């Protein structure tokens, strides 16, 4: 386990260092900063279950030619990244301070979009922009627990995200959990915990921390489900979940989240 942890840290360091170095080359003086958020910034990165979450902030829009070269770099580094790869968004400084919601973005990448880019890169570059509600959650994590890899200090670039924006963003991610929990049960089980933790206690947690909070706060009948999810997420021990059990758990957690909002 220690060897795996060391290897994961080595890969994370390589990918983030190269991403930063090459981003500075491509974007030059237009680059405001590069920020690491998610599990890698919160001390619970796992090479099997974590992606490398990055926000790139620029001053002015970038050309399609620069986007193409930038994306080629991202895809190349993504191949060297752990299993879940890189998740990256490029946003403009003017939407960060004051924070704009839903948040416009200039470019985005994750493993889910890899095939599209490889198949039709020019279409990808033309269409991969717009607004993304998830960015409220990403910016919140960055503001409170992120790490500046290059450029201006986090607090100098980002305003704190309003509570209602963050709540809307994280609720959007779990609202259909009863139907979608089967696609990625470990992710959703832990994510529901951290959403409820924020609703009740106002704490901003990683998925691992959310699960640990859940062990103390969810009904005893569901704690074995949370324990399973933590085991898989933390140690990579593949779990087989009871379908009826995790559906019931999702329903319970959604009701608890709604009660916290209404209350």
What band does 48 get if pLDDT is binned at 50, 70 and 90?
A: confident
| Residue 4 or 127, more confident | 127
Cα dihedral 27→28→31→36 (10° resolution):
70
Instruction: Find the mean pLDDT for residues 163-181.
Output: 96
* Measured distance between the N- and C-terminal CA atoms of the chain, rounded to whole angstroms: 43
Per-residue model confidence as pLDDT tens digits over 114-163: 999 999 999 999 999 999 999 999 999 999 999 999 999 999 999 999 99
Please give the average per-residue pLDDT across 68-93, as a whole number. 97
> Mean per-residue pLDDT for 37-56?
92
Is the pLDDT reported for residue 263 higher than 70? no
pLDDT at 262: 62
The stretch 68-72 carries a mean pLDDT of 98
Mean local confidence (pLDDT), 176-197:
97
pLDDT above 70 coverage of the chain, percent: 96
Q: 150 phi and psi, to 5 degrees?
A: -165, 145
pLDDT value at 1 more than 80: no
| Per-residue model confidence as pLDDT tens digits over 226-243 | 999 999 999 889 999 999
Would you state the pLDDT for residue 5?
61
Largest CA distance in the chain: 55
For the chain, the average pLDDT equals 95
Q: Return the percentage of the chain with pLDDT > 90, whole number.
A: 89
Instruction: Assign 202 to helix, strand or coil.
Output: coil
**What dihedral angle (degrees, nearest 10) is formed by the CA atoms of 167, 172, 177, 179?**
160
What is the predicted pLDDT for the residue at 116? 98
Question: What residue segments make up the domains of the chain, in order of their start?
Answer: 2-163, 175-262
Can you give the pLDDT at residue 47?
81
pLDDT score for 164: 96
Say if residue 99's pLDDT is above 60.
yes
Cα separation, 72 vs 88, in Å, equals 13
Mean pLDDT over residues 61-82, rounded? 97
Read off the pLDDT band of 193 (50, 70, 90).
very high
Closest to 109 in 3D by CA, of 140, 78, 135, 83: 78
């Amino acid at each position: 386990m220690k060897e795996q942890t060391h290897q994961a840290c080595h890969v994370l360091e390589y990918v983030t260092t190269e991403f930063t170095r090459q981003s500075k080359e491509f974007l030059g003086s237009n680059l405001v900063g590069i920020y690491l958020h998610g599990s890698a910034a919160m001390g619970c990165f796992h090479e099997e279950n974590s992606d490398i979450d990055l926000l790139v902030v620029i001053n002015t829009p970038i050309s399609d030619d620069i986007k193409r070269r930038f994306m080629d770099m991202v895809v190349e580094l993504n191949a060297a990244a752990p299993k879940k790869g890189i998740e990256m968004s490029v946003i403009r400084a003017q939407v960060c301070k004051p924070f704009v919601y839903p948040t416009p973005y200039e470019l985005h990448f994750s493993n889910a979009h890899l095939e599209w880019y490889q198949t039709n890169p020019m279409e990808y570059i033309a269409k991969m922009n717009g607004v993304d509600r998830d960015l409220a959650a990403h910016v919140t994590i960055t503001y409170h627990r992120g790490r500046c890899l290059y450029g201006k200090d986090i607090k100098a670039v980002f305003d704190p995200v309003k509570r209602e924006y963050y709540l809307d963003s994280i609720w959007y991610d779990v609202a259909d959990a009863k139907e979608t929990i089967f696609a990625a049960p470990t992710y959703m089980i832990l994510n529901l915990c951290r959403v409820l933790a924020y609703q009740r206690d106002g704490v901003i947690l990683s998925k691992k921390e959310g699960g640990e909070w859940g062990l103390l706060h969810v009904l005893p009948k569901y704690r074995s489900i949370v324990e399973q999810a933590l085991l898989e997420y933390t140690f990579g021990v593949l779990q087989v979940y009871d379908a009826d059990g995790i559906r019931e758990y999702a329903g319970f957690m959604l009701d608890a989240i709604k009660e916290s909002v209404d209350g």
